[in-house]
Amino acid sequence: MESKLENAVELLKSEGFAGPYSFIFMIRWAALTEDRALLQRIGKSLEEMDSFRESASLAYVYAEYYEASRAPFCEPAAAFLIGRCSEEDPLYLAALAKCARVFRREEFFALARPLADECPPADPFAALGLLELYRATFHGEYLNRAVAVAEEIRLRFKELFSPDEAYDGEEPSFNSAVALLYDELARLTQEEQWVKAREVQNRFISLLADRYPTRVSFGLCALLSDAFEAKTIVCAVPEGKEPPELDALLSFYAPLTERIVIPTKIDTVKYFLMQNGKLEEIKGI
């Protein structure tokens, strides 16, 4: 799997990053492989960006890059785009929620909450937005709604689209969005139904990637879980209060990183990294 992803990375490099959805995959790849040169190249491209249409998808990209790099240009660029993009953009809710979480912008939360209450059924893009809100707030209702959307998708779409209809274009394909949705639910819940759903969907995306890897760049993000071990940051805190530096720590270990906050009777905050079945104490940032 990793060689397939490496091939896609080289092709995307040669094509100069074909659209915002390829940036998301490339940022995550660079972070996971600790390829600082690639991350810097992506940052330079984003700083010089002036040809993309104003879109929530690109705001999502800036938030994604900020998580990986803490580059200061990301927040104003994302805020500029959020103020000018359309709710019709499939990643609008996800971009609002991600920007709210990453940049700690309450005004983005205020825009996202009413949209979350009106999510259409069987819409994987909306469900991805709900999961971003869950990560930002840890309110279980958002996770439950995302699960309900995913269950509706499984009921309605028992047969996947044909390969000729499944590639990303101006917008990411339905199949790519479903792949990311199942992948995130599998990692968040560890439930067998979503683990199996991820396996099936990822096999389909992998077959598409065999033909045209650069045309499923959004879906390739889901395949990263097959090639890299997921990580969990366990934070033991007094009285269960989440420390502000936790977001920075998650960014340092991003992507494929979740968090667990455990209230304890200790007086100081302690952090642990859980990976490959091992738990080790780590320093904060």
Percentage of the chain beyond pLDDT 70 is 87
Give the count of domains, the chain. Answer: 2
State how far the Cα of 174 lies from the Cα of 235, in Å rounded to an integer. 35
Judgement on whether residues 100 and 241 belong to the same structural domain of the protein: no
Taking only the tens place, the pLDDT of each residue in 107-140 is 999 999 998 888 888 899 999 999 999 888 878 8
Judgement on whether residues 164 and 261 belong to the same structural domain of the protein: no
For position 254, what pLDDT does the model report? 67
Beta strands 257-264; 231-238: pairing state: parallel
Judgement on whether residues 191 and 243 belong to the same structural domain of the protein: no
Judgement on whether residues 173 and 258 belong to the same structural domain of the protein: no
Largest Cα separation within the chain, whole Å, is 58
Buried b (16+ CB within 10 A) or exposed e, 238-248: eeeeeeeebbe
Judgement on whether residues 104 and 203 belong to the same structural domain of the protein: yes
Judgement on whether residues 93 and 16 belong to the same structural domain of the protein: yes
Sign of the torsion formed by the C-alpha atoms of 45, 47, 49 and 55: positive
Q: Please say which residue of 182, 202, 227 terminates a domain.
A: 227
State how far the Cα of 27 lies from the Cα of 35, in Å rounded to an integer. 10
Taking only the tens place, the pLDDT of each residue in 43-55 is 998 888 764 567 8
Judgement on whether residues 143 and 255 belong to the same structural domain of the protein: no
State how far the Cα of 138 lies from the Cα of 135, in Å rounded to an integer. 6
Judgement on whether residues 158 and 267 belong to the same structural domain of the protein: no
Judgement on whether residues 142 and 16 belong to the same structural domain of the protein: yes
Taking only the tens place, the pLDDT of each residue in 218-229 is 899 999 988 887
Domain range enclosing 15: 2-227
Return the bridge partners of 270, or none: 236
> Any idea what the CATH number is for the domain that residue 88 is in?
1.50.10.20
Residue 104 one-letter amino acid: R
Structure tokens at 20: 């915002």
Judgement on whether residues 111 and 87 belong to the same structural domain of the protein: yes
- 176 or 214, higher pLDDT: 176
Judgement on whether residues 8 and 65 belong to the same structural domain of the protein: yes
Judgement on whether residues 215 and 92 belong to the same structural domain of the protein: yes
